[in-house]
Amino acid sequence: MARWEPGARERMVVAAVELFAEQGYDATTVAEIAERAGVTKSTFFRHFPDKRELLAAGQGALSELLAEGIASAPADATPLGAVRNGLERAGEMFGLVNREMAPQMKAAIASSTELQEREALKRIGLAVAMTDALIARGVAEPVAHLAAEMGVLAFKQGYAAWTDAEDATGFGPYAVAALDALREASAAL
């Protein structure tokens, strides 16, 4: 086991998702995750406070990309237009590995109440990041909250469509398509 081998964080996430899918979240130990990833337990704890946080890996970066995308939207963009820009920017973070792990991650989350709670907290964090970025653009708070919640729903629906697609390329277009569908649906409210 190489002490300073690169990619340890990513290997631990992949190892955890595989183990959670194989034997369940509750039955998987930190020691097993570390062993499969080729790292020590102390390396694991340098990256993550506990095994639950593995599935939230990258949430901070994702929130930053969403906020940066919203902030960099054209000045005349509507709130949903700014969210669209944020979703496009966040789409840059998702690659083939994310897509390949999606079924296992979905199964792991479905099998554990603790992981379902963590997933809900992740969505709340994304909504807060988008809301704050919209308010910083001068969007009124109620509108910012509504646009951010639509962004989170578009993210969730777009992710599901992206992972289910046969020949999907990037994630961004799927999230944007979901947001456009939600915008159309909101016209019927």
Tell me how many helices (H) and strands (E) the chain has: 9, 0
**What band does 9 get if pLDDT is binned at 50, 70 and 90?**
confident
In angstroms, what CA-CA distances link 170 with 40, 61, 91, 166, 173?
A: 34, 17, 7, 12, 7
Average pLDDT value for the chain? 90
Report which residue type is found at 65. Answer: L
The answer, yes or no, to whether residue 3 has pLDDT greater than 80, is no
The three-state DSSP-derived secondary structure of 96-144 is HHHHHHHHHHHHHHHCCHHHHHHHHHHHHHHHHHHHHHHHHCCCCHHHH
Neighbours of 99 (CB within 10 A): 18
pTM comes to 0.84
| Model pLDDT for residues 119-135, shown as the tens digit of each residue | 898 899 999 999 999 99
The answer, yes or no, to whether residue 107 has pLDDT greater than 90, is no
Neighbours of 186 (CB within 10 A): 11
**What band does 2 get if pLDDT is binned at 50, 70 and 90?**
very low
CA nearest 148: which of 120, 179, 169?
179
Please name each of the domains of the chain with its CATH number: 8-53 (1.10.10.60), 58-186 (1.10.357.10)
| Model pLDDT for residues 28-74, shown as the tens digit of each residue | 999 999 999 999 999 999 999 988 888 777 788 899 999 999 999 99
